[in-house]
Amino acid sequence: MKKTSVNKLKYYIFFVVILPAIFFNNSLSAQDSVQLAKSPPMGWNSWNKFGCNINEKIIMEMADAMVRSGMSKAGYKYIVIDDCWQGGRKKDGEIYANKKRFPHGIKYLADYIHSKGLKFGIYSDAGTKTCQRRPGSRGYEFQDARTYAKWGVDYVKYDWCYHGTQNAKASYLLMSKALKSTGRPIVFSICTWGTNKPWLWGKGIGNLWRTTEDIQDNWNSMMNIVNQQKSLYKYAGPGHWNDPDMLEIGNGGMTTTEYKSEFSLWCMLSAPLMAGNDLRNMTAETLKILTNKELIALDQDKLGRQAFCYRDIGGYEIWIKELTNHEKAVCLLNSSDERKKVQVNFALLLKASSNYWRPDPYKLADYRVRDLWQHKYLKLKKNIKYIKLPPHSVKVYQFVKK
């Protein structure tokens, strides 16, 4: 056969056989991703409270506490082990858990969590090592994916330490394909800490992606993360979420008022709600914050719109989130250290749109305004109301159709 004929045959095979198959498979994968995470994942992760001090007993007790406390009924489903569970690799490359900390193995733990009606998540890294220098998945992607599926893993958090000169998108795409090849539905959490701008390429590869460095349990760290979300609202939606990191609520570094602000902002941002405290000994205040059903409903709203920052003036911010049924939520944030008394025009806020040039045509007369922390409707005699905001506090209102 002539060389030109061979080349023509190669082009024919690529464009007629291979390329359509690639397109078809990618379409299916994108569809599957949306089904996996129609709303932002809710659960618990071990890192913020325990770091490397984890073991089988602690994780099982967290699952028990999630059910006993009522958190699972409020929507929290995932129990995720972060770094330091690994023991090493066998001669054939298969990864195994630290035998002293997890004497019965990971499948035993996953089965226990599943028996509670919950889902199980685990941690790995795209590099040769994890951030705590345990074995990473580089070079073992498909083998690790098969192992996780065999164990019953439902969620994988994939970090970005010891990656050398690896390309981020290619590295995460490889593990994404590996997980999908197992046939088990596994939520994939991209954790590049906002480097490489994963919101630009993560859709269809992962279900959520970290947008910033690790959160710390203090007001400045939390607010620094919130401020970095302001330009990202257009990248979030069903199956692909911006992830501003796990919640610090209940860990002691902030006040109750500040933790209420954190939870409110995360819900406005359509962020994954991954608690990071010790669920076994929560205070009543902590539990009340984490299980505020009206705030959770904002986070889990089917429209999947992340809030946009409508106004930011001298430590006073207004965030607006579009909801299903032509409803909206508004978060008034006093990020300053001083008490504020602000004038709020509810009619104007109802009309505010993420498209500033096309205000929404909604009329305040068609809505009631509900305070989602006081759990009651406001009595509005006029469109304008003065609201008092203590330092570092929020007010969250929902425009509910009559």
Provide the annotated active-site residues.
159, 214
Q: Compute the CA torsion angle 373, 378, 382, 387 (nearest 10 deg).
A: -30
Strand pairing partners for 321? 329
- In our burial notation (b when 16+ CB lie closer than 10 A, e otherwise), range 218-237 reads ebebbbebbeebeebbebbb
Q: Letter for the amino acid at 210?
A: R
Region class of 84: left (phi > 0), else alpha (psi between -120 and 50), else beta: left
Helices 219-227, 256-268: axis angle to 10 degrees equals 20
CA nearest 210: which of 185, 178, 236, 186? 236
- How does DSSP assign 134-166, residue by residue? SB--TT-HHHHHHHHHHHT--EEEEE-SS-TT-
C-alpha to C-alpha distance for 12 and 150, rounded to whole angstroms:
39
61, with CB counted inside 10 A (0-12, 13-18, 19+), is: middle
CB 151 within 8 A of CB 94: no
Q: What is the DSSP letter of 16?
A: I
CA nearest 97: which of 62, 122, 64? 122
